[in-house]
Structure 1
């Protein structure tokens, strides 16, 4: 497994990370046994970065990871944990809480669920508009000083917020959506991170399966699948976006690769400071994703991909309007 370093102050991690949210919710039914087997396969393949959140299944994902990691040396993997999202007993989203006391309380519960003494990267899932980012970053800095956290991370915030947090304590990485059809970070956010020496952990590199090559126009998401309400998966938007996938499929075939492998390889090629998070829930999907590491893309290949799927080519926003409004990274 190739390795990359998360910014100037962050840890060395595998070139691909494993995003574990789908093993608990939001993408339809997941199989517990297969999820654990997939985590084991990822670790055995050399993946060291595991991403979760305390609100994924209201703690379910952290407990699932604890079960999967039982018996593994703690220094053989890194845990990236998001906090702050508030949910009701029915699973409803209630907002965000990133007050210093809430940060510390949330970590106490995460440590218990994960059965560990520390997490490697701790990050607010979204910017809490009621709390200055300096206060949230300062609370994480105190947890770093106490040994409960190794590094501060951020998620879905804009360049100004990144600078303000980084002035309090070095930020290891920014977790944010980045794919061939979600390139908004290239304007101001990615340059700011590179200026400050902050790494990028890119999630939704396959746009939640849309550009994986496995989605079809007649596929119906289940009632509990996030994609049922995602603008890019609706009606004419979906038809337009799947036409982009067909263009990628033609290019992928010239490399003897799948569409998913080409799309992941493109993100890998955007810079050594970017680590794609793979949301694989099964071993076959994980194995396919790992194959992206063997897809070499030269300048001509990248130019051909850009021509097939230029910036802004996708139809529809990446989230529904209510969720888009919560993204500091989307504010202009």
Structure 2
């Protein structure tokens, strides 16, 4: 079990290395060997997969049919069954292969034609490309990522898709390289949990949103208090577990940044086996029986909404 670095830049370097490895695998310059955050998100089983983490009608994502991302093929239940077959059919395969998401913010964010969208931690570009199609030629979609290899992959996918209303930016989500009030919507897909300074990320999201703009992200949230041994495990951090905010803390940080109309909607709930498969097996083994019972079912994928107040 690797320990999470105490230095923010060291943690960022560890996360960057894992995402670079994924991008290189998709680009074909490196053979797949290990999983990083949430595992490769696209696969090709012959029949639709049935995910074991589905709950109610409001806590499920649509299956992708023949392109469905199954738990068996992806290596992690966190990323399975997030996009419909129709959505995957409109984007290059490489963008889907590189996805590290835990939800589908583009399907839930109610994008409107003509809007400007920013995706924090855009990876291979799947949510940026889908957003660009939803906002249409009069709108625009930005993708922000810190990993050169992911940016290369995303730009290649943009060109292949023939999408013009997109721009990929290099930078960190704690310091967004856009001016104030420049976008109508900020989305993100299982990335904010990887930041060591989530409060700064939310303040930056607030800054770049126009008055009345919306914050609509998919992220991993813990409904309770995370055991310290899980929080300190680098592998479970890279697997979207250790870095998850506790739900009440998420709400408090959004409010402190200035957001209103805050809502957290659970979309999936994870068992101990699901958490173990995401990369936290070593730290789970170190928990007591009581701690394991406290963790079981408390990690969730959630769709988090908030709004920047309109100017009066």
Choose 1 or 2 for highest CA Rg. Answer: 1
TM over 0.5: no
TM-score by length of 2: 0.35
TM-score by length of 1: 0.34
